[in-house]
């Protein structure tokens, strides 16, 4: 055997120790890499752990397991105690791996950076006790971060809720103070003003009075919550079938169920002679709410149209409601004007009996009052248009004039001002065409319609009910506009209004009376209030009324000219009209920021002047040149 040299077993033992130290460092590095991101609070060291850290650990068993070579079986070195990182000497073995430096590429601490800058409490706590945040553990840079307070913790949420409650309370107090200020009854007219302040206010005040684009209307139909009862007069009717007998003997409620279910169409459609009381009953039902009037109108229209096609001859016999029945229908809709009923309400025929118990609508109507009224009037207008078209001779000229007046009064209702009136305009055109004595009835019709209303804007809206589509409607529009202008100015008896050739000259005379200054004198017959403080306000109102009247009259003057076929012979009269318009109206209006109605009136005068100048260019007579060959 080889002799054992002194120190021969020391080298293997050092190699084994270096391997054990390297293995321990690798295990600690792996544990550090696998450490979760959650932080763990540093626990106080216990006595057992501290004692175990000071007791030396024997590595003989580990050495025996790691030394298998026979050369490694030498005298063993005494066990060594591991030192802490602060006191352990730096190993000099070249096989020891290098520690992680601060500038290395891969850091050893993979935990997220602290977000303590969001909470000032954490910053304050870090300044007071920095040692409680980080706890060092034996090993190469093994550390655990203590969890701090987050930004949305419970205390912060409670504080935020308290601040929001305080803000809501302040807002409620401010709103209450504003309501208290608005509830104070401060009348600006009662506040005394010095003369200097009054002059300043009058100089820079702006008038809010403008010329309204929509006419004021008349109160024709009053709101009616329940419909009037309507009873079918079947005393003179003989049933032709068992089902018809059941219908005629049923109470009003069941008769309406026949209408809603469609059984009446089965009974009377395609029948040559439809009972007239049934048609009258259906016509009165047109004034009921839309859910009933729609079915009644559909059946009435089908029965009338079917009766027209079933008659072989040219002389068509169609039942048409009389003027009296139309007035009754308007009364059922709530009309109360004395002009509709000069002798009071009309009750006859047993169809509308206010004293007897009949069927009425007890529930509130779903549609608004104006919409329901417009629907019922639309049904009446359409059926009357069918009668006027299918049977032109159903009404006499007197009835036609009365029916046109009645329809125009109904169209001026205050609740129907903003609704379209296409059905009414078509019906008026048909009624004008059915007048036999034309233009003999034109004078009577114009005089009747000119007194339908006392307001000039309502009369202007009445003229616009007749579209400029037929020769009769144009003639009526022109003549009626001239009559309304003369009536508003009190010149009906002094001018020849009914001579067609002198209408432009009469209008030229009326234009001189339409200037705003003359209208102020005409309207100022009522004396101003004696109070000095109320005189400026009353004068401004009078000026507004004068401009408003001039605006309506000037619009009617434009209708008079536009509805006429101006011939070259009337070129001089039209040129005189342009001169009168520029002299008496355009030159008399002074625009100012304090009076908006002056600007609107001057704009209308300018537009009218431009249109009349265009007419002058179209109807200008051809120049007469001397021709020596004229007599040859």
DSSP assignments along 344-407, one per residue: -----TTTS-SSS------SPPSS-HHHHHHHHHHHHHHHHHHHHHH-GGGS-HHHHHHHHHHH
Q: Which H or E element spans position 144?
A: strand 142-145
Q: Structural domain tally of the chain? A: 2
185 part of a folded domain: no
Q: If you count them, how many residues does the chain have?
A: 632
Please, which pLDDT band fits residue 550 given cuts at 50, 70 and 90? very high
230 part of a folded domain: no
Q: Are residues 519 and 406 in the same domain?
A: no
CB 508 within 8 A of CB 548: no
Number of other residues whose CB lies within 10 A of the CB of residue 195: 7
Q: Which of 374, 364, 458 is nearest to 416 (CA)?
A: 374
531 part of a folded domain: no
Q: How far apart are the first and last CA of the chain?
A: 172
Rg of the chain in Å (alpha carbons):
52
Say yes or no to pLDDT of 105 above 60: no
- Cα 433 to the center of its chain, rounded Å: 41
Most confident of 61-70, 363-372, 601-610: 601-610
Residue pLDDT, tens place only, 210-230: 899 999 999 999 887 777 888
Q: What is the pLDDT of residue 11?
A: 52
C-alpha–C-alpha distance, residues 34 and 110, integer Å: 9
Say yes or no to pLDDT of 399 above 90: yes
Say yes or no to pLDDT of 439 above 80: yes
* Mean pLDDT value of segment 38-44: 43
Name, in order, each residue with C-beta under 8 angstroms of 387's C-beta and a sequence gap of 6 or more: 304, 318, 320, 321, 394
Phi, psi dihedrals of residue 143, rounded to the nearest 5°: -140, 150
Burial of 285 (0-12, 13-18, 19+ CB in 10 A): buried
C-alpha–C-alpha distance, residues 332 and 231, integer Å: 13
Q: Are residues 605 and 504 in the same domain?
A: yes
Torsion on CA atoms 572, 578, 584, 587, rounded to nearest 10 = -140
122 part of a folded domain: no
CB 237 within 8 A of CB 277: yes
Structure tokens at 609: 């002047």
* Mean pLDDT value of segment 35-55: 43
Say yes or no to pLDDT of 363 above 50: no
- Cα 458 to the center of its chain, rounded Å: 27
Residue pLDDT, tens place only, 461-519: 999 999 999 999 999 999 999 999 999 998 888 888 888 888 898 999 999 899 888 88
Please, which pLDDT band fits residue 100 given cuts at 50, 70 and 90? very low
Q: How far is CA 200 from CA 197, 203, 205, 209, 320, in A?
A: 5, 5, 8, 20, 67
Q: Are residues 491 and 569 in the same domain?
A: yes
Q: Higher pLDDT residue, 434 or 352? A: 434
Q: Are residues 500 and 591 in the same domain?
A: yes
Q: What is the pLDDT of residue 193?
A: 76
Structure tokens at 428: 């008026």
319 part of a folded domain: yes
Residue 141 Rama label (left phi>0; alpha psi -120 to 50; beta): left
Q: Are residues 510 and 595 in the same domain?
A: yes
144 part of a folded domain: no
Q: Higher pLDDT residue, 112 or 67? A: 112
Structure tokens at 106: 């891969």
Q: Are residues 324 and 390 in the same domain?
A: yes
C-alpha–C-alpha distance, residues 332 and 329, integer Å: 5
583 part of a folded domain: yes
Phi, psi dihedrals of residue 82, rounded to the nearest 5°: -70, 140
Per DSSP, 413 falls in state: B
CB 470 within 8 A of CB 429: yes
Structure tokens at 603: 């704009």
Residue pLDDT, tens place only, 262-315: 899 989 988 878 899 999 999 999 999 999 999 999 999 999 998 888 776 666
Q: Higher pLDDT residue, 182 or 319? A: 319
Say yes or no to pLDDT of 126 above 80: no
Q: Are residues 376 and 308 in the same domain?
A: yes
Strand locations in 448-552, DSSP E? none
Q: What is the pLDDT of residue 341?
A: 53
C-alpha–C-alpha distance, residues 230 and 287, integer Å: 10
Phi, psi dihedrals of residue 136, rounded to the nearest 5°: -80, 140
Q: What is the pLDDT of residue 623?
A: 56
Q: Which H or E element spans position 200?
A: helix 195-204
Residue pLDDT, tens place only, 133-164: 444 444 444 444 444 455 567 888 888 899 99
Say yes or no to pLDDT of 348 above 50: no
Q: Are residues 480 and 609 in the same domain?
A: yes
Q: Are residues 390 and 466 in the same domain?
A: no
Q: Which of 453, 481, 502, 473 is nearest to 554 (CA)?
A: 481
Q: Which H or E element spans position 263?
A: helix 263-268
Q: Higher pLDDT residue, 597 or 152? A: 597
Q: Are residues 281 and 416 in the same domain?
A: yes
Residue 322 sits in which domain range? 243-340+370-436
Say yes or no to pLDDT of 563 above 70: yes
Say yes or no to pLDDT of 112 above 80: no
410 part of a folded domain: yes
Q: Are residues 313 and 424 in the same domain?
A: yes
Q: Are residues 431 and 540 in the same domain?
A: no
C-alpha–C-alpha distance, residues 53 and 98, integer Å: 25
């Amino acid at each position: 055997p080889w002799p054992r040299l002194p120190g021969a077993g020391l080298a293997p033992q050092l190699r084994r120790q270096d391997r054990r130290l390297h293995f321990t460092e690798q295990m600690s590095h792996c544990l550090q890499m696998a450490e979760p991101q959650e932080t763990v609070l540093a626990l106080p060291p216990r006595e057992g752990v501290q004692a175990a850290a000071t007791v030396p650990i024997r590595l003989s068993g580990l050495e025996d397991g790691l030394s298998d070579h026979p050369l490694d079986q030498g005298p063993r070195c005494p066990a060594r105690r591991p030192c802490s990182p602060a006191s352990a000497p730096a190993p000099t073995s070249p096989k020891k791996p290098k520690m992680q430096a601060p500038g290395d590429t891969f850091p050893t601490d993979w935990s997220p950076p602290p977000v303590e800058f969001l909470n000032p409490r954490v910053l304050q706590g870090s300044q007071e006790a920095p040692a409680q945040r980080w706890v060092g553990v034996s090993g190469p840079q093994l550390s655990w971060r203590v969890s701090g307070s987050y930004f949305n913790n419970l205390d912060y949420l409670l504080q935020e809720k308290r601040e929001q409650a305080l803000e809501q309370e302040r807002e409620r107090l401010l709103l209450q103070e504003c309501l208290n200020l608005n509830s104070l009854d401060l009348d600006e007219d009662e506040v005394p003003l010095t003369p200097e302040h009054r002059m300043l206010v009058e100089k820079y005040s702006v008038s809010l009075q403008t010329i309204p684009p929509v006419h004021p209307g008349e109160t024709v139909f009053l709101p009616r919550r329940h419909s009037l009862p309507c009873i079918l007069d079947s005393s003179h009717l003989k049933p032709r079938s068992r089902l018809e007998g059941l219908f005629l003997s049923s109470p009003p409620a069941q008769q309406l169920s026949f209408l809603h279910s469609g059984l009446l169409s089965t009974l009377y459609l395609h029948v040559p002679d439809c009972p007239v009381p049934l048609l009258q009953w259906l016509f009165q039902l047109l004034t009921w709410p839309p859910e009933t009037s729609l079915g009644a109108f559909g059946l009435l229209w089908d029965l009338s149209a079917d009766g027209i096609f079933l008659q072989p001859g040219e002389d068509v016999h169609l039942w048409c409601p009389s003027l009296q029945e139309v007035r009754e229908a308007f009364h059922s809709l709530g009309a109360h004007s004395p002009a509709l009923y000069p002798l009071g309400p009309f009750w006859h025929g047993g169809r509308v009996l206010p004293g007897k118990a009949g069927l009425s609508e007890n529930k509130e109507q779903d549609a608004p009052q104006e919409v329901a009224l417009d629907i019922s009037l639309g049904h009446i207008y359409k059926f009357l248009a069918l009668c006027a078209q299918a049977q032109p001779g159903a009404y006499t000229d007197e009835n036609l004039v009365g029916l046109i007046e009645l329809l125009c009064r109904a169209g001026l209702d205050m609740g129907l001002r903003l609704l379209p009136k296409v059905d009414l305009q078509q019906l008026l055109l048909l009624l004008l065409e059915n007048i036999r004595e034309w233009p003999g009835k034109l004078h009577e019709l114009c005089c009747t319609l000119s007194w339908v209303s006392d307001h000039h804007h309502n009369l202007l809206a009445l003229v616009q009910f007749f579209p400029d589509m037929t020769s009769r409607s144009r003639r009526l529009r022109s003549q009626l506009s001239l009559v309304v202008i003369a009536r508003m100015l009190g010149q009906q008896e002094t001018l020849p209004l009914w001579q067609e050739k002198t209408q432009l000259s009469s209008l030229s005379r009326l234009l001189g009376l339409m200037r705003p200054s003359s209208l102020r004198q005409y309207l100022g017959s009522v004396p101003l209030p004696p109070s000095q403080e109320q005189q400026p306000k009353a004068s401004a109102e009078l000026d507004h009324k004068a401009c408003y009247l001039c605006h309506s009259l000037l619009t009617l003057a434009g209708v008079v000219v536009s509805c006429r076929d101006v011939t070259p012979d009337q070129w001089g009269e039209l040129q005189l009209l342009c001169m009168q318009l520029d002299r008496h109206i355009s030159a008399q209006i002074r625009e100012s920021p304090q009076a908006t109605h002056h600007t609107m009136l001057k704009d209308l005068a300018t537009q009218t002047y431009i249109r009349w100048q265009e007419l002058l260019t179209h109807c200008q007579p051809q120049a007469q040149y001397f021709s020596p060959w004229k007599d040859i």
